[in-house]
């Protein structure tokens, strides 16, 4: 395998071309009796001067495929969240967040925009796969200890604050997508105006 890779490498190809030049010099009588050294030297020089091999770029999944995976994980998370007992306020904030996430992950209008926004896909993935499950799980564990040893800060208040912060992150993402659409619409308007000016 290593020999096969070298035979196909730039070093071997460039060295071989230079070696052929050495053979041509031999046949024309320029190299004289030292032609083996000339051919070998030109091959070696060509191999050294050849540009280095460039490793292939990893083939990562495109944002659309990543979105599909995030959607699947969100469905699993949604099933988990339905089994968690929350206060009225926390439940309301969780519902607001999950509704916004559902809209962002919808296969309709947002898919095309998010497919062009890897940072947006990363933000959604972070909320669905890490931030939200961690917040709810921490709440459940802390609430159990609070019932065992009352006192201290309410775990519900922390959860409500965390849900609010995550909703703010999701709203920023939605705002960015809306602004992208608005810019595209404005660009199209300017294009039509300029075309009309050029062809009154």
| pLDDT tens track for 12-30 | 667 677 666 766 766 666 6
Domain residue ranges of the chain, discontinuous segments joined by +: 2-49, 63-198
pLDDT at 2 over 60: no
Q: Is the pLDDT of residue 175 over 80?
A: yes
pLDDT digits (tens, 9 = 90+) for 111-124: 777 777 888 888 99
pLDDT band for position 109 (cuts 50, 70, 90): low
Taking the C-alpha atoms of residue 86 and residue 92, their distance in angstroms, rounded to an integer, is 9
Query: Each residue of 46-87: pLDDT tens digit?
Result: 666 666 666 666 666 666 778 888 899 999 999 999 888 888
Long-range CB contact pairs, 106-113, < 8 A, 24+: 107/71, 110/177, 111/64, 111/67, 113/177, 113/180, 113/181
Of 41, 50, 1, 49, nearest to 21 by C-alpha is 41
- Position with higher pLDDT, 198 vs 103: 103
pLDDT tier at 183, thresholds 50, 70, 90: confident
Contact of 75 with 139, CB cutoff 8 Å: no
pTM of the predicted protein model:
0.63
Find, among 141, 139, 129, 149, the residue nearest to 69 by Cα: 129
């Amino acid at each position: 395998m290593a020999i096969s890779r070298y035979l196909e490498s730039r070093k071997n190809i460039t060295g071989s071309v230079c070696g052929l030049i050495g053979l041509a010099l031999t046949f024309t009588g320029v190299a004289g009796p030292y032609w083996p050294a000339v051919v070998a030297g030109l091959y070696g020089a060509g191999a050294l001067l050849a540009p280095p091999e460039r490793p292939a770029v990893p083939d990562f999944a495109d944002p659309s495929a990543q979105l599909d995976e995030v959607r699947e994980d969100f469905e699993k998370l949604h099933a988990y969240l339905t089994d968690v007992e929350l206060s009225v306020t926390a439940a309301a904030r969780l519902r607001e967040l999950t509704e916004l996430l559902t809209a962002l992950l919808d296969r309709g209008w947002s898919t095309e925009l998010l497919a062009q926004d890897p940072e947006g896909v990363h933000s959604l993935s972070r909320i669905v796969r890490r931030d939200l499950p961690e917040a709810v799980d921490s709440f459940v564990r802390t609430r159990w200890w609070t019932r065992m040893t009352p006192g201290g800060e309410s775990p519900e208040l922390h959860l409500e604050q965390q849900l609010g912060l995550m909703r703010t992150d999701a709203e920023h993402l939605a705002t960015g997508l809306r602004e992208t659409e608005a810019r595209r619409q404005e660009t199209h308007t300017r294009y039509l105006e300029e075309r009309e000016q050029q062809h009154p």
